[in-house]
Structure formats: C-alpha cells, structure tokens
Amino acid sequence: MTRHIAVIGAGMAGLSAASLLGRAGFSVTVFEKSRGLGGRMATRRAGELRFDHGAQYFTARGPGFQAEVARWRAAGAVREWFEGGYVGAPSMNAPATDLANGLSVTTGRTVTRLSLSAGRWSVSDAEGPVEALGNGAYEAAILAVPAPQALPLAASAGVALPGLERAVYAPCWALMLGFASAAALAGDRHKPDDDMIGWIARNSAKPGRDAWAETIVAHAGPAWSRTHLEWAPEAAQDALLARFRRLTGVQDAPAYASAHRWRFALVEQALGEPCLWDEASGLGACGDWALGPRVEAAFDSGQAMAARALAALGVAP
C-alpha cells in the first residue's frame, strides 16, 4: 500500500527532506507557491537574461553536504565559482531540480490551511483542498517554509511547534541589471563598505552562464532593506541603481533593470535545533531558520526532518 507525505515548500530544506523520504519508499507530494523550485536558490528569467537574484553561492563544510555537492558536481548540476564557493549550473536552482526528480511537485499554489482527520493530513489553498497526489491521505506533513510563514500554517491545524517564533530574518532588496555590452565593472564579486548595498556580483561571470550579455546582481544591506521594505519595486530599483552607479562608476544605461523584495532573506537568529516535530499529529517543520543562514544548513535541516519523520513512522532511512 502506498504511503503518502506532504511537504510544504520546495526550497533546499523541503526538497532535501522530500528526497530522503522518497528514497525511503514514501510517495511525497511537494507544494510550492512559486512557479519554480529552489526557494531563495532562485533564478529570475527576463527574456533571454538570467539572474541569480537570491542566494549567490554556497559552501560545503560537513561531510554529508560535501558528499551531496560532489554528486551534483559529477552530474554537472554544480560548479565551483571560486575556491570553496559553489553555484548551481546552468542556474542556481539546478540542485533543487535534481532533488525533485521522482517527486510529485505542485507549483503555483499557496497553501493556506492544513487539517488533520483520522490521522491523515489534508492541504488546502484559498479555494479549498488542493487537487494533488495523496491529498487527504498524508501520514505526515512537513512545513519547509520561513518560520513566520510556518507559524500560521501550524496554527491552522491547531498544532503548536514551540520555537518557531524565535527565528528572526532580515529582508533584502535585490537589484538586477542587464547590459547589452560589457559594463565597466572591475572584478566579479564585491562587498562594498556601504550602508545601502552590501553585495555586487557579475552574474554572467559565474560558470555555466551565458556570457553574451552582462548581467549584474546587487543586494541591499539588511538595515536599508528593512527600513525600505514596503517601497514599491520601482522606487527601490531607482534608489539602488543610483547607489550602484556611485559605488562602481558604471554609468551605462541598463537594457534591463528590476528590483525584487525578499521578505525572509537572511536568518539573523536561528532556532539552534535541526528541526521541529509534533509526535501526536505528525507535523514537522524545517528550514535554514533552524540551524543558520546557509544553504548547507537548510539541507541538513531537511535531512534531519526526514529522519525524524521516518523514525516516527517506523521506517528506516
């Protein structure tokens, strides 16, 4: 008999958990509100231009994640950008796509409510129960979204997951610029000593990217992003572009410019535990908010979450 589990969120933590659960024999359905996979390991497409507007790179410190990165590299899904710094190839979400192989993934659906009946979970959006594989028969449900988004979902099911409220995030405005020809930007990576822009990268210089067009990503610092969080994207774009020009001296008019707001970009205060699990209901939560602001932390949290769920369900990982 097929056994089903639901995972809410197709970022690194959710897909890490879902992949391990799938290998253990469960039918896993992943629900994602965005159109693509990877969460903040995201790539924005604008015509033929590509921007890694979320996570810029990742490192691998522990043996578990190092082994996974080695597997991705062998498969061509990850390449080294600089010593010890890796990127997905040909786009940042390539590792997420790899983890999603064999899973049932429902994208473009924002889950708003979970319900438990006779020991089985159902997943609903604003229109009601989502038509998805296994819905209504999930033996466990895993919340792999930012902690502030997981809190109301757990509450909708009447389940408390103590500790979620302790996680604190900083927001981030991301500026994406595309130029028809090479811009006069020296080097590929910059961390300006500036209270407005904290990171500038030549996106097109990353391995596996198209080099025919110059693409640049600039991230605003946490304090500026928090102060201007509710600005319209156009206002943030104009302000960040003006500061980018002052910092870099690049005065060329971009062929493309856009700003994206990440409300939950950088974990400032982590839970300090790998995951959360409610034994009575079979509801769990995982994410980078559990262990720290790194892609590896999200992966490790997802692995820990899957192991915890499998143990509770009587299945060896």
Question: In Å, how far from its chain's centre is CA 2?
Answer: 29
Model confidence at 226: pLDDT above 70:
yes
Contact 185, 248 (CB under 8 A): yes
Quote the pLDDT of residue 296: 98
Quote the pLDDT of residue 184: 67
pLDDT digits (tens, 9 = 90+) for 166-217: 999 999 999 999 998 776 687 899 999 999 999 999 999 999 987 778 999 9
pLDDT digits (tens, 9 = 90+) for 29-54: 999 999 999 999 999 999 989 999 99
Q: How far apart are CA 18 and CA 305, in angstroms?
A: 9
Taking residue 194's Cβ as centre, other Cβ atoms within 10 Å add up to: 16
Query: Which domains, ranges and CATH numbers included, belong to the chain?
Result: 4-42+96-166+271-312 (3.50.50.60), 44-92+168-269 (3.90.660.10)
Token pair in block for residue 207: 């391995």
Query: Nearest to residue 13, comparing CAs of 76, 73, 121, 96?
Result: 96
Average pLDDT over every residue of 271-291: 97
Element housing 97 (H / E) = helix 94-99
Quote the pLDDT of residue 180: 83
Cα end-to-end distance, the chain, whole Å: 18
Average pLDDT over every residue of 250-268: 95
- Phi and psi, residue 192, nearest 5°: -65, 145
Q: How far apart are CA 225 and CA 241, in angstroms?
A: 14
The whole-model pTM stands at 0.96
Contact 289, 272 (CB under 8 A): no
Residues 6+ apart with CB under 8 A from 294: 58, 59, 288
Contact 10, 40 (CB under 8 A): no
Average pLDDT over every residue of 264-290: 97
The fraction of the chain above a pLDDT of 70, given in percent, is 99
Strands 128-129 and 138-143: unpaired
Average pLDDT over every residue of 226-232: 98
